[in-house]
């Protein structure tokens, strides 16, 4: 199934700015769904991701390329290709892990999910639907504008995914 999917996805060869010698990045670059979302070293998009890690340690990791999905379907394509070709990758949420190799990776692929930042509420505003790359500051601003709120991280730049799996303290935590 994955083999079939990857074959379809990479069948369109597209001229692009992806010039990486890494086979994993080259395969991502050849996907029509990802070609505009992959950046290589020494590009503005790549550097924007690397320098947005909170800790200096994480910034020392230099992936061969960075992928910036803008929809869940991009992530599905991305992970299907990386799994098919047995490529190692890291997921960068808000990038606040203090040490390297949690959300960063050297000589492999980093997926920066910051673009998955959609926010909405159900009709009675009891359930919020938050993109997995959202950060708490914008979430608080959105919820406040809707007359509701949630109690989570204290630093506004922390990612929603990382706090859920590795945090949990709010101003109101015991």
Ligand X SMILES: Cc1cc2nc3c(=O)[nH]c(=O)nc-3n(C[C@H](O)[C@H](O)[C@H](O)COP(=O)(O)OP(=O)(O)OC[C@H]3O[C@@H](n4cnc5c(N)ncnc54)[C@H](O)[C@@H]3O)c2cc1C
CB of 150 to ligand X, least distance (A): 13
**Member of 52, 70, 118, 132 binding ligand X (CB under 6 A):** 132
Our CB check for ligand X shows the closer of 43 and 52 to be 52
Shortest distance in whole angstroms from residue 54 CB to ligand X: 5
3-state secondary structure (DSSP) of residue 39: strand
CA pair distance 132, 59, nearest whole angstrom? 22
Cβ atoms within 10 Å of 85's Cβ, excluding its own: 14
Residue 103 touching ligand X (CB under 6 A): yes
Coil vs helix vs strand at 40: strand
Point out which span in 31-39, 41-49, 70-78, 147-155 binds ligand X (CB under 6 A): 147-155
Among 45, 54, 59, 128, binds ligand X (CB under 6 A): 54
Q: Is 108 in the site for ligand X (CB under 6 A)?
A: no
| Rounded CA Rg of the chain | 17
Does residue number 92 form part of the binding site for ligand X (CB under 6 A)? yes
């Amino acid at each position: 199934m994955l083999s079939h999917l990857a074959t379809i996805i990479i069948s369109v060869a597209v001229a692009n700015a992806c010039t990486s010698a890494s086979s994993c990045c080259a395969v991502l670059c050849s996907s029509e769904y990802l070609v505009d979302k992959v950046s290589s070293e020494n590009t503005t998009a790549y550097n924007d991701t690397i320098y947005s890690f909170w800790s200096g340690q994480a910034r020392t990791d230099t992936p061969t390329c960075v992928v910036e999905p803008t929809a869940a379907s991009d992530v599905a394509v991305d992970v299907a290709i990386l799994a098919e070709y047995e490529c190692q990758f890291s997921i960068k949420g808000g990038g606040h892990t203090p040490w390297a190799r949690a959300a960063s990776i050297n000589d492999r692929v980093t997926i920066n999910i910051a673009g998955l930042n959609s926010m909405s509420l159900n009709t009675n505003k009891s359930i919020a639907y938050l993109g997995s790359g959202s950060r708490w500051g914008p979430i608080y601003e959105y919820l406040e504008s809707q007359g509701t709120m949630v109690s989570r991280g204290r630093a506004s730049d922390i990612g929603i995914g990382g706090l859920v799996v590795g945090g949990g303290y709010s101003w109101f935590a015991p």
